[in-house]
Structure 1
Amino acid sequence: MACCWAIVAATLVSWQYVLDTDSWSFIVASPQELIEQFERHFEVRNTHFQTDQDKCGCRRGDPRRAFEFIKNHGININPNYPFIAHLRTDSQIPTHSVKMFIKDWLDMRGYSVDRVRDELKLHPIAASIEATESFMQHRGNSDIFLGDYIFHPSSSTALHNHVVVVYSIDEHEGELYYEVQDSNLDWGEGGFGKILCSLMNPIGACSGAYIKKVHSVDEHEGELYYEVPDSNHRNITLY
């Protein structure tokens, strides 16, 4: 799915809220807001759709930029800003809603496997992989995806063309692999699977997730802003 960066960022924020608040409810953040609204804040001004990737929100997508957007502007929960998997030019931000924020995020590019393992003890992370044809066709959760492309972090820090959520790291017959979740539910087994660590590039993670009630949306000098209370409403029951 081409808007994988937004789905992964929203998923990580949702998980971080559960971990930070010991919440029993998995509150789903809205990837739709990321693919439609973050362009306002990163000077991606061309809203004319040129390719299918533009139409589905892939253009210039990056979880690190998404984390920065969420840190500064927050992200609606999915019921308030439903995910439709394509980009619209006439979308409206809900004027009264509940938004999730993060206090900070971590750039993990170039991290060693040991450092990644330490982070995974705390929370899931985002990582990129080259979505080759063999990757897209991978099915089942028992076999490790061995791929046909090896990432060399010493030679480049560029992102691959696809992003997944990484939950854990393990070893099988001397090979380290990640337990991951893909945004494509047909991949692996219901979106879950195992990928050889050397195929992937760790990207980042977030921390300090919390919730604020947003009272209204207003505009100043062409920029939208939210009016929010001073206190953090960490224990709001949404479902």
Structure 2
Amino acid sequence: MTLPGDSLQKELVEATQDLHLEPQFKDITAFLDEVTDEFQIGQLVHLESFGLYDAMSSIEIMDPKMDSGMILDSDLNKRPFDIKTLIRPEQVLWVMDRLFICEMSWHSGHSLSQTLFTCMYLLRAMELEPELFSNNSSDDINQNSIPIEFVILILKSYVLGIAKCCQLVWDEMTKGHVYEEEDFATNKYGISIYEDFPNSQALKLLDDAETWLVQHGSNWIRQTGIH
């Protein structure tokens, strides 16, 4: 039998338990400022287990070259990324060039979060479909009659091709089939690089992109005088 006050008491107990489970934060900024004032240049506080690998894997917070989560003042004035924006062929080439640089940087030992995952088109490649631009204004789509295939076919196939190449490299490295003396970052941070997308479909998409570019895209480029 449940008494009228039992349910209320139970709710109070659960609320008290939840309160204790919540993290209790305390501002230690002043404390850190005080103790670090006594540090010498290059001095480091660390555990006894701290080794070379830990030092190589660490980052310097607020260093733009190392802290991938840092927001620079220049970033605040940038237009927010809009995947629905139909970019011009020369802009497509710029994205492809930058993505290739990111791929090479990853092969050189940099993390995915600082290289390939900085490309929004790679993270959202599957959204590059004709329906994406169906709600765009006629000015956006018909500006110099830019064919949407430059984005939904050329750029998409290239991005997925890069992703599949990196996935194949990642597979071989994690299986231990290839040994690299230098650093190699395998952490994907829970983000997919299209592991489930069939290689055969990626190759077909690249073939379709090449066929369209030869038969239609090149003619449009010549007619508009884009170099």
Tell me the TM-score normalized by structure 2.
0.19
Q: Normalized per residue, which structure has more helix?
A: 2
Q: Normalized per residue, which structure has more strand?
A: 1
Decide which structure has the larger Cα Rg and report it: 2
The structure showing larger relative contact order (alpha-carbon pairs under 8 Å, at least 6 residues apart) is: 1
